[in-house]
Structure 1
Amino acid sequence: MSETEVEISVVGSLQDIAPADWDACACPEAEAGAKGGARADGRPADPFTTHRFLMALERSGSVGPGTGWQPQYLLARVAGQIIACAPLYAKSHSQGEYIFDHNWAHAYERAGGRYYPKLQMAVPFTPATGRRLLTLPEFRQIGEAALLQGALQIARDNHLSSLHITFCTEAEAERGAQMGLMPRSSQQFHWFNEGYADFDAFLATLSSRKRKNIRKERAAAAGFGGQIVALGGDEILPEHWDAFWNFYQNTGARKWGTPYLTRAFFDEAQRSLRDDMLLVLALVEDRPVAGALNFIGRDVLYGRYWGCTDDFPFLHFELCYYRAIDYAIAHGLSRVEAGAQGSHKLARGYMPVETHSLHWVADEGFARAIAQYLEAERAAVDEEIEVLTSFGPFKRTGMQDE
């Protein structure tokens, strides 16, 4: 296998790659499931690296010319067969990544360097952990090495400042570190299903004070004056997307100034991703007033977008966090990933976890400075996770409930 000749290439559009070839590397478990695996529904581990999701971003103009995310999909072939691929982008800014390097860019440019464009191996606008080095299972080792070496060579050949691989798996972070990339740690909040029979069984594991608080929040949210519906597949209608686009624009304008996704993305999502999504809407007299969009993985529910046109107490928590827990329990999913940041999630049963990224910087002096910073940052993240975990909402073993 070590003597196998691997050819590396770059294509600027997924239209040049057959969906079956890409997905054979991105989600081989989906094909195995469709043939009768552990979860025989053909669902990928996560939908974000599938051909259909990345193609929806591309077709909708959410990535491509004028967005600062220029596709440079990386392919590795052996004897003409695609054995590995990666979602790679040339970036002209640092927006939509959720692993922040703005200060690096400012320092680099103050020192006279040119930080942009840079290379980003990631799923745009998606802070969800998943494989970034996508390979056929039988070519995992050689494929991962080829993708890493290929991305680094592209950066060097084009005199780019840096390469960043964000929200990769822990195993990929270890693999990249062995090849000389700098590992970085960050933190998110995830909810874990311990085999709960229902939401009340989950509540029973919490301290009395936290349990009562969640019940009060759910009761207050239920009194908003309407109904809450959970929609998936063909249940999601064009008018639902019209309403959700308004929610998304409102939230995007407040958070980022300009929403990352275009309106056309949601039309593309309805066409090719509807079975990967769970849309939770709050309705008043059949008029949507708030909504939360989730993506469904093989064993994980990914909370992605939230927005509203009316303000109701605790409705955000109900739609985004508690309904996600309800869904995960009902469908036997192991966890809910509720997106980036948000220490307020801790009191609602979402616990801190470490996330991973990899970084390479061309300038050796600048790279040494970043490496020192990242070492200190990793220690701080570890300490924060330990402290936050100690303040978690669950009953403490050997202690009387409050």
Structure 2
Amino acid sequence: MKIRQLVRIQDIPGNQWDGLLDCDYPFLRHGFLAALEDSGSVCAERGWEPAHLVVFDEADQLQAALPLYRKMHSYGEYVFDFQWAQAWERSGRDYYPKYLAAVPFSPVQGPRLLARCSQSRALILEFLDQELSQAGLSGMHLLFNQDDGNDALEAAGWVQRLGCQFHWFNRGYAGFDDFLGACNSRKRKNFRKERLAVTEQGISFHWLAGAELTSTVWDQFYPFYAATYLKRGQHPYLTPEFFQMLGESMPESIRLVFARQEGRDVAGAFFLADQDSLYGRYWGCLEEYDRLHFETCFYQGMERCIAEGLKRFDAGAQGEHKLIRGFEPVLTQSWHKLQEPLHDAVADFLVGEREGVKAYQLDAQQYLPYRQTE
């Protein structure tokens, strides 16, 4: 087998890359990664230099792939290592560049190291070890991966870090009222009160998908997306071209909803979907409306899951306010391998942090709105 490093995802045909995926998980599809790069949202100038790894067999058939970036900062990752960087730099060494195996700006658990066999996976991990010792990197980080490669990563000396997100699960509900029936009476009243507050403002919702996602629609949505960042004094991670390109390459995966008042769109939210899950990604509103965020980003997504028969709704990272709205605490993971002596110090720290995260997950469950069963 032979390994290659790509300076852009377009250096490999989309059908070959996607052929390694055994599911329709949208974030690792070639079209998603290509839209990030081709739109200028991800590039060396923005601190994300593509360095993807691919493995071919003797017949030039793709056997493994890893989305990889040479990072010059730690923004847009959602697994925070700023304190590690400060400690390393206090010792007189540069923390950046580092290697990051992840989907940019997407804290969504899923496949990362795609491999048809253990041999091709091992080749990628061996290559990364060589890079760590020879390429002037402080470390390597693999974010939000599923469990399938854990044993190989641990055997190669990587250490696991846990996190906690909040996901909503559709337990065969026929409608939103069925979900309410699973909640205690006080919470049911709160849900209805929140939703009524939006209705009384004369706001309705309009969903779009597939062929409905025209360039005009994306021009209409982008100011909502950008507003969320601009309100914090930040520049948006994604360019307008990203949404246009994704709408052309992956329309079947996109769900878009606009909130309308008196015939005018006042807010919008962007979702992706696969055969099992809905993923809430971006939202924005140019004015303030009572309870509109909760309705647009949570309740509308729940109803969409029920309507499409999807099992899970991942509404994004963080947000303890999701607990009381029925989103359950779910553990996520990342893996890290760093230069010594930083690696040993981080490994020791993560032992206690993992136990703390597990305890937090258990404690958080008591704030869920569901009726207690014997």
Q: TM-score scaled by structure 1?
A: 0.90
Instruction: Quickly say closer, same or farther: Cα 1:208–1:110, change in 2 above 3 A.
Output: same
Match of 1:103 among 52, 73, 83: 83
* Deviation for aligned residue 1:310: 1.6
SS of the equivalent of 1:231 reads strand
Q: Which of 358, 361, 370 lines up with 1:385 in the alignment?
A: 361
- From 4, 9, 12, give the equivalent of 1:14: 9
Range with bigger deviation, 101-110 or 230-239: 230-239
Hey, what does 1:28 align to over in structure 2? Answer: 22
Q: What SS class does the counterpart of residue 99 from structure 1 fall into?
A: coil
What is the aligned partner in structure 1 of residue 100 from structure 2? 120
Tell me how many residue pairs correspond in the alignment: 373
1:307 aligns with 2:279: no
Distance in structure 2 (CA, Å) of the matches to 1:396 and 1:174: 37
Paired with 1:360 and 1:256, the residues of 2 have a C-alpha distance of 33
Q: Does 1:86 align with 2:56?
A: no
**Is it true that 1:233 corresponds to 2:210 in the alignment?**
yes
Aligned to 1:370: 346
Q: Contact between 1:173 and 1:357, CA under 8 Å: does it hold in 2?
A: no
Unaligned runs of 5+ in 1: 1-5, 30-43
> Structure 2: where are the runs of 5+ without partners?
none
Q: Quick one: which of 198, 201, 220 aligns to 1:221?
A: 198
1:148 deviation in Å? 2.2
Give yes or no for contact 1:250–1:307 (8 Å, CA) kept in 2: yes
Q: CA RMSD in A?
A: 1.4
Q: 1:63 is matched by which residue type in structure 2?
A: V
Alpha-carbon contact 2:97-2:136 (below 8 Å) kept: no
Distance in 1 between residues matched to 2:44 and 2:292, nearest whole Å: 37
Tell me, in whole angstroms, the C-alpha distance in 2 between the residues paired with 1:256 and 1:106.
24
1:171-195: CA deviation from partner (whole Å, max 9, x where unpaired): 3334312221010000100001111
Cα pair distance change 1:300/1:344, threshold 3 Å:
same
SS of residue in 1 equivalent to 2:144: strand
Residue 153 of structure 2 aligns to which amino acid in structure 1?
G
Cα offset, 1:214, TM superposition: 0.7
> What is the SS of the residue equivalent to 1:339?
coil
Q: Residue 40 of structure 1 corresponds to which residue in structure 2?
A: none
3-state SS of paired residue (1:28):
coil
The 5 A counterparts of 1:225-264 are 225-255=202-232, 257-264=234-241
The worse-fitting range, judged by mean Cα deviation, of 172-181 and 260-269 is 172-181
Tell me the residue number matched to 1:3: none
SS of residue paired to 1:184: strand
Please state how far the C-alpha of 1:319 moved relative to its aligned partner: 1.0
Cα distance in structure 1, aligned partners of 2:151 and 2:283: 33
> How far, CA to CA, are the matches of 2:312 and 2:152 in structure 1?
25
Q: Deviations 1:354-380 (Å, cap 9, x if unpaired)?
A: 001000001x22111111111111011
Deviation string 1:142-198 (CA, Å, 9 cap, x unpaired) is 232222222232232212110000011133334312221010000100001111111
Aligned ranges 1:61-210 → 2 under 5 Å: 61-79=40-58, 80-135=60-115, 139-210=116-187
Aligned to 1:278: 255
Aligned partners of 2:126, 2:181: CA distance in 1, in Å? 50
C-alpha offsets along residues 268-326 of structure 1, whole Å, 9 cap, x if unaligned? 12211222110010122332210110001121100000100121111111111111111
Structure 1 counterpart SS, 2:364: helix
Q: CA deviation at 1:256?
A: 7.1
Partner amino acid for 2:66? A
CA distance in 2 between counterparts of 1:183 and 1:174 reads: 11
Please tell me whether the aligned partners of residues 127 and 340 of structure 1 are also in contact (alpha carbons under 8 angstroms).
Answer: yes
User: Which residue in the other structure is 1:34 paired with?
Assistant: none
Give me the whole-angstrom Cα distance separating, in 2, the residues matched to 1:141 and 1:334.
30
Within-5 A mapping of 1:326-345? 326-345=303-322
Q: 1:173 touches 1:356 (CA, 8 Å); kept in 2?
A: no
- Structure 2 residue identity aligned to 1:134: L
C-alpha separation between the residues in 2 aligned to 1:140 and 1:337? 30
Residue 38 of structure 1 corresponds to none
